[in-house]
């Protein structure tokens, strides 16, 4: 299965933009890139997904490299409530089997 690689941790200041990177060098042509986040003591929640083009929604933006081997989740103005573990996963053709890595723990400083 294609794996993703993320930094273990990142820090940001409140109200500043945050760029969370993810490498997925073995991505296949039909794999969608999904991002989730997990707040303390909660289950993961969906953030955004994309295939080739950059995507925006109310929570974040997703920038996908032209060769699709990496992507970046962008939080435009970090708030204290954005402190969480962020997971980048590949949703494959056999989409029933999605595997998560250890994610990036984002700390937001006031």
Partner 1 sequence: NAGVTQTPKFQVLKTGQSMTLQCAQDMNHEYMSWYRQDPGMGLRLIHYSVGAGITDQGEVPNGYNVSRSTTEDFPLRLLSAAPSQTSVYFCASSYGGTRQPQHFGDGTRLSIL
CB of 81 to partner 1, least distance (A): 18
Q: Is 68 or 91 the residue whose CB approaches partner 1 more closely?
A: 91
Binding of partner 1 by 53 (CB under 8 A)? no
| Count of alpha carbons within 13 angstroms of residue 1, beta-carbon side | 15
Binding of partner 1 by 40 (CB under 8 A)? no
Binding of partner 1 by 101 (CB under 8 A)? yes
**61 in Cβ contact with 48 (< 8 Å):** yes
Q: Is 25 or 99 the residue whose CB approaches partner 1 more closely?
A: 99
CB of 99 to partner 1, least distance (A): 5
Q: Which of 5, 11, 75 is nearest to 33 (CA)?
A: 5
Q: Applying CB under 8 A, which part among 11-19, 59-67, 71-79, 95-103 lies near partner 1?
A: 95-103
Torsion sign over Cα 66, 13, 88, 55: negative
Q: State which of residues 10, 21, 74, 91 lies at the interface with partner 1 (CB under 8 A).
A: 91
């Amino acid at each position: 299965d294609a794996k993703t690689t993320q930094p273990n941790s990142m820090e940001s200041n409140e109200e500043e933009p945050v760029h969370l990177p993810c490498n997925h060098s073995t991505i296949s042509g039909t794999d969608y890139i999904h991002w989730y986040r997990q707040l303390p003591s909660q289950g993961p929640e969906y953030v955004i997904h994309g295939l080739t083009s950059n995507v925006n929604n109310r929570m974040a933006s997703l920038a996908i490299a032209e060769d699709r081997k990496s992507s970046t989740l962008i939080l435009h103005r970090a708030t204290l409530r954005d402190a969480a573990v962020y997971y980048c996963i590949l949703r494959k053709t056999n989409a029933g089997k999605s595997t998560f890595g250890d994610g990036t723990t984002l700390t937001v400083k006031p």
